[in-house]
Amino acid sequence: MSHHPVLKFVPHFMPENGIPLLRGLSWVCLAFAVWLCSPSTSAFAQIDFAHQIVPILRKHCMECHSGTKISGGLSLNDQATFLQGSENGRIVDFAQPDKSLLLHVVTTDDADFRMPPKGPGLTKEEAALLRLWIREKAPWEPGFAFTRPAYEPPLKPREVELPPIVNSRAHPIDRLVDASFASRQIQRPAAISDGEFLRRASLDLIGLLPTPEEYAAFMADHHPDKRARLIQSLLNRDVDYTEHWLSFWNDLLRNDYSGTGFITGGRKQISRWLYESLLHNLPYDQLASELIAPPSIESRGYIDGITWRGTVSAGQTVEIQFAQSVGQSFLGINFKCASCHDSFVDRWKLDEAYGLAAIYSTRPLEIHRCDKPTGRMANAYWPFPELGQVDPAAPRDQRLKQLASLMTHPENGRFTRTIVNRLWHRLMGRGIVHPLDAMQSEPENADLLDYLANHLQGHQYDLKQTLEFIATSEIYQAKTVSVSEESLQASFHGPRARRLSAEQFVDAVWQLTGTAPRKPDANVVRGKLDPSLLEATAKAMSAEWIWGDSALNGSSPPANETLAFRTTINLLEVPHKAAMIISCDNEYTMYINGKKLGEGKNRETLGGYSLTEALKTNQPNELLVVGKNTGAENNPAGLFVELQLIQKDGSRQHIGSSTEWEWSPTLPDSKGKYDLQPTDWKPAVKVPALDVWTQHTLQPAIKRLAELNFDQNHMVRSSLVRSDFLMRSLGRPNRDQIVSMRPNDLTTLEAIDLSNGETLATALDQGARSLLEKDFATTPELVNWIYSYALSRPPTETELATALAALGDEPARENVADLLWAILMQPEFFYVN
């Protein structure tokens, strides 16, 4: 009997739009959906543990139930002891929270059972807060303990001596894990099959399902090193790697393409810089340095945070955001609590949070405690002075560079430990220090954490090397610990089954159905540019800087002079690719054929636009630019435009701004149109190129044009598009806060959207139509293709027979869509096992 679930189909319901919204459910899928909808699924937290629950427990319980005092066998010192309960068993019941023993003893009138036994007891308000807290599964601040342990994590790197080899497992990670398992008498999990490994490694390293062709080739390969070669080949797929790990870094750096702050200009993306950094595998120390002390505007959005509209609390200013972001992203320090008051959770003080914020601040920064001014001013301060210190008197840019140097200092072991802990969690489902932003806590396996940190530093901070190092270990290639087992075990027993992220799930659906969007929302170039393409673009460029007559004979045009410039482009055929770059000192608005294409208000920022869909062949194409010279007095002005047209045969045509263009002082309306054509058009004037212009234009223009005309043939990934309802319901965060760990729990919202959501239903319907148009010789071939793609295995005999019975000899579109849906809902698909 197979261990895989059997698929059974029931009639689906088809609304007027032809898309089945209620899919046929197998018994396992139905059980899964019921599980998703169960009361145990997470809800939105309404309780502030640190400020509402901690004071209640400290006031009424700590005298008898913390530190060495464990009256009745009950310690409330930390989360683990709290959940362990007392000599009478667990004191909270998450299945029936209102019947929890803790609530009973604090609300009963029976003096023999009432807690605390002396004093006035809890108020009704305090008891109500405890009740709501338990209903929310008693969320506990990561790492918090009422009596703090004496443990202080080491700062500097520590050399690790490897334990002896056991059972020929020579990989350093396996030697360290074997020793830990032996000391705790934990049985090592068995190895996974080749098919399971292929799916796990592909989803973990590049976020994609292996194709049926990749599955067949891997299963046919009998060389002993095929797993190691697969890992290398996956990591060498630069675009796939980048677009998978982009989600990890977008979460950790709170970067996104839309949302809070973007409309008002109070937030800037770092998408382009981040994408290129991952694509070229920028060493981690350099990546961190360019984020903390940005060398250009491209990476500056991280430290500038979000300028919120209106009046904000002291803990939401951009300076405090900087301290919180840098501390959390790179050091695993939660400064949110310490930004308001001395932390309840660990050793961090209010002055330290403000000291880090003062490194970024350009103004005197008064320390606020709980949003009230203290009258004390913050001094720029790095929280690990044994490595050096920031000069408070230095200009901000210098302070940021000093901070970047201290952060990436070779002796700052916390920097490397934090990121390898995140990568271990990503691949194993549990951090060596867990939760991930509680790096002040004692690691479960300090030797393993330090060895991984040293390995990263020893390999020039190459994150791909660390991922390969983990993935080639036998413990990574071991069977997962099931969710039910892992929930009862606070320590690492093996890889944990991890649910697909929102992006992994959506990408998998797009792979199966061919329904990925045509264009990404992220403004990135999806691949590495061939140097020969850059060279060819540079040789062909012809643009000159131009202006009107006010620039004749080297004169400086008047301030705020605004002119219109135009040229006409006649085409015999629509080009395969067409793009344009533009720069103007100081501002421009651009139109093509009477439609606004874009605008720019910063001469240091080069504009780049695709014209492929804007150009026509049955009419002259008019390019119109309105340029403005801002300033308080006469100053240099210029416009620089270069168009590149590429035909299908690869031939290129360049059109650059020149004296053949025309200018006029008569301006069009806001739509770029004239009621009456001006009669005062004159030939444009060539102006000498200033060094400051060429510095920001020439080389960037060459690269930008090449990028705009770069053929990008990869499937658009969900990491590159704005979040939608399906992705949000699957756990993709809003990213107005840093998110280092997405929840692994499944929610009622997900169950509703997966079973009845239009986005998924539409994709499956379109995918079913596409599959039926493919050249499958038989229905069994179709079923085998779906299973091998979705699950990296063929269907069992029972699954195949059931699917064929449901599909029939001539499968209908709706039945194929139901088959796809039923497979997607299986835990085997939904988890990285």
Residue pLDDT, tens place only, 599-645: 998 887 888 888 888 898 888 999 999 999 999 999 999 999 999 99
Closest among 27, 734, 205, 171 to 179, alpha carbons compared: 171
C-alpha–C-alpha distance, residues 591 and 578, integer Å: 15
SS3 content of the chain, % helix, strand, coil (to 5): 40, 10, 45
Q: How far is CA 424 from CA 125, 156, 429, 449, 731, in A?
A: 42, 20, 8, 9, 20
pLDDT of residue 18: 39
Is residue 33 pLDDT above 70, yes or no? no
What average pLDDT score do residues 770-780 get? Answer: 93
Residue 488 CB neighbour total at 10 angstroms: 7
Q: What is the mean pLDDT of residues 536-541?
A: 84
The count of other CB atoms within 10 Å of the CB of residue 507 is 27
Q: Is the pLDDT of residue 764 over 90?
A: yes
Phi then psi dihedrals of residue 185, to 5 deg = 55, 50
Q: What is the pLDDT of residue 149?
A: 60
DSSP-based three-state secondary structure for 640: strand
Q: Is the pLDDT of residue 487 over 70?
A: no
- Burial level of 76, CB count in 10 A (0-12/13-18/19+)? buried
Task: Write down the mean pLDDT value for the chain.
Answer: 89
Rounded distance, CA 371 to CA 494, Å? 44
SS3 (DSSP) at 417: helix
Distance, CA of 713 to chain centre: 23
Mean pLDDT of 654-682: 94
**Alpha carbon 94 to chain centroid distance?**
31
The DSSP bridge pattern shows strands 662-664 and 498-499 to be unpaired
Q: Quick one: tokens of 659? A: 């004296």
Name 194's Cβ contacts closer than 8 Å, sequence gap at least 6: 218, 219, 226, 227
Contact between 579 and 705 under an 8 Å Cβ cutoff? The reply is: yes
pLDDT digit string, tens, across residues 778-794: 999 999 999 999 999 99
Mean pLDDT of the 714-740 span: 94
pLDDT in the model for residue 148: 64
CA distance 249 to 720: 12
Q: What are the residue ranges of CATH 2.60.120.260 in the chain? A: 531-708
Sign of the CA dihedral running 75, 76, 80, 85: positive
- What are the distances in angstroms from CA 46 to CA 78, 129, 438? 21, 10, 22
Q: Left if phi > 0, otherwise alpha if psi is -120 to 50, otherwise beta: which for 593?
A: left
pLDDT at 543 over 50: yes
Fold of 531-708: Jelly Rolls (2.60.120)
| Buried-state track 654-690, b at ≥16 Cβ within 10 A, e below 16 | ebbbbeebbbbeeebeeebeeeeeeeeeeebbbbebe
Q: What is the DSSP string of 59-88?
A: HHTHHHHSTT--GGG---SBHHHHHH-BTT
| Nearest of 737, 819, 748 to residue 260 by alpha carbon | 737
Q: What is the mean pLDDT of residues 793-818?
A: 94
Average pLDDT over residues 138-161: 84
Tell me, what DSSP letter sits at residue 806? H
Name the least confident of 70-84, 422-436, 549-563. Answer: 70-84
Pick from 197-206, 295-304, 570-579, 805-814: least confident:
570-579
Return the structure tokens found at 80: 């683990």
Give tens-digit pLDDT for 15-24.
334 334 445 4
DSSP assignment string, 254-280: T--SSSTTTTTT-----HHHHHHHHHT
Q: What does the H/E/C string look like for 343-390?
A: CCCCCCCHHHHHHHHHHHCCCCCEEEECCEEEEEECCCCCCCHHHCCC
Distance in angstroms (rounded) separating the CA atoms of residues 339 and 352: 9
The C-alpha R_g of the chain, in whole angstroms, comes to: 31
Closest CA to 26 of 828, 832, 770: 828
Give, for 658, the enclosing helix (H) or strand (E). Answer: none
134-143, 192-201, 288-297, 512-521: the lowest-pLDDT one:
134-143
d(C-alpha 508, C-alpha 826), whole Å: 14
591 DSSP 8-state letter:
E
- Res. 704: pLDDT tops 80: no
At 363 the pLDDT is 95
On the question of pLDDT at 233 being above 70, the answer is: yes
Check residue 41 and give its pLDDT.
Answer: 39
Residues in contact with 262: Cβ distance below 8 Å, sequence separation at least 6, in sequence order: 269
Burial class (CB in 10 A: 0-12, 13-18, 19+), 20: buried
- Report the SS3 class of residue 589: strand
pLDDT single digits (tens) 580-597: 999 999 999 999 998 999
Tell me how far apart the alpha carbons of residues 588 and 605 are, in angstroms, rounded to a whole number.
11
Sign of CA dihedral 256, 258, 261, 265: positive
> Has residue 32 got a pLDDT over 80?
no
What are the tens digits of pLDDT across the range 41-54?
A: 344 457 888 889 99
Q: Is the pLDDT of residue 35 over 60?
A: no
Backbone angles phi, psi at 783, to 5 degrees: -65, -45
For the segment 309-332, what is each residue's pLDDT rounded down to a tens digit? 888 899 899 999 999 999 999 999
Checking if the pLDDT of 27 tops 50, the result is no
C-alpha 600/C-alpha 596 separation (Å) is: 12
Does 10 score more than 70 pLDDT? no
Can you list the alpha helix ranges (DSSP code H) found in 1-123? 27-36, 54-60, 62-65, 79-84, 101-107
% of the chain exceeding 70 in pLDDT: 93
523 pLDDT band, cuts 50/70/90, is confident
pLDDT tens, position by position, 415-429:
999 999 999 999 999
